[in-house]
Amino acid sequence: MDEAQREAVADLLGMDRLPDADFTVSLAVLDEVLQEAVTRSVREVVTELLGPLDDRAARRSQAAAEREALWRWLSDHEVVTAQPALREWVSQVRRVGGPVSELRPVLRSALSVLGRLPAEGTPLPAFADAALHDPHALDDGTRLSGLVFRALAALYGVDPPANAEERRALWERAGVAADELSTVVLAAGRYPSDSDSVAMRILRACGDAGMAAALTLAQLNASPDLSPGPADVWVVENPSLLALALRRFGADCPPMVCTAGWPNSAGVLLLRRLGQAGARLHYHGDLDGEGVRIAAYVIAKVGARPWRMSTSEYLAALPRNPAGPMIGRVTEAPWDDQLAAAMREHQTGVTEERVADTLLHDLTKHSIQR
């Protein structure tokens, strides 16, 4: 304090000498002095002079509550609950943190993007415009694109992309700017439909010959309507199952589609088209960590139903699979809340080929007898 300020403090407190330049006054003493002098408290005087006081404790408490509400909203979002592999991404986002007012809108945009993936070979600017009304919203270097890349990496079980080539490859895996000619899905079986679409004509010709069809994304994009479709379509993860079914049933094989691991944009588009045409989609894949993630993805994206993917089916297959592969990273199965725990306990995967006889027996009841 300068001398004038020291004199003011001495007068206020009734001191018989000037205080030091650095001087501390108890709030309780100051409050008592002000009550006697002007019948008002320290809070009232300061509020009148400087405006309302900030309640920092209440502000911190409110901020903490807002952050917890944000994480609950993110964890419970339908995009995350449908694909539990994304919970790892949620944990990553939470560790990084940031102001709630900034995080919520960018997370909402990221979830909107993830909910629309995989795309159907759409160029990135067109996809961003359709999803977010901004063709540059997903440009490299934006916070939003970084969040989406980390989510896709968690979903597919790969490292986040480190360069432009890896980012482009991850977008293509999600069906953005995919090559319409080299992106192919395998299908087999007889499709009893009189649809004149390019895709259905190919499926009928190959089905009559007892052979698999390789449909390109371009052919599917040119076939927006596959109605009327078959009543049931049997979807498998591994091409070997398709080959076994064709060997057994030939031209009488029921309608089948193979995702060949993670389904590409052609696979998702074909299954969506068949679902729109009225087909019930039944999905089976490997019963291991990645197989469950693929199944959750297919179920969430095309509305398929699990086909022999339960805990009881897994446990029943274990004795026939004593030297199965390691289970890998396990995430929850949205259709069976006990499956992940059983896999963690036994640490053994059951490949689709190991249960091929059971699957083919199911297909026998649906083979088309001419």
CB atoms within 10 A of CB 199: 26
The whole-number average pLDDT for the span 69-83 is 94
Per-residue pLDDT tens digits for 291-343: 999 999 999 999 999 999 999 999 999 987 777 788 889 999 999 999 999 99
Q: What DSSP line would sit under 138-169, residue for residue?
A: T-TT-HHHHHHHHHHHHHHT-PPP-SHHHHHH
pLDDT at 198: 94
How far apart, in Å, are the Cα atoms of 343 and each of 82, 88, 307, 317, 339?
A: 19, 18, 18, 12, 6
pLDDT tier, 96 (very low <50, low <70, confident <90, very high otherwise):
confident
pLDDT at 117: 92
Q: What dotted CATH number matches 184-364?
A: 3.40.1360.10
pLDDT at 239: 95
**Percent of all residues in the chain with a pLDDT value above 90, rounded to a whole number:** 64
The whole-number average pLDDT for the span 242-251 is 95
Q: What is the pTM of this model?
A: 0.74
Domain extents in the chain: 3-50, 56-173, 184-364
pLDDT at 367: 64
Distance separating alpha carbons of residues 218 and 222, to the nearest angstrom = 6
Per-residue pLDDT tens digits for 10-64: 888 888 889 999 999 899 989 888 888 888 988 888 888 888 877 788 778 887 8
**Percent of all residues in the chain with a pLDDT value above 70, rounded to a whole number:** 98
Name the pairing type of β-strands 232-236 and 256-258. Answer: parallel
Strand partners, 215: 185
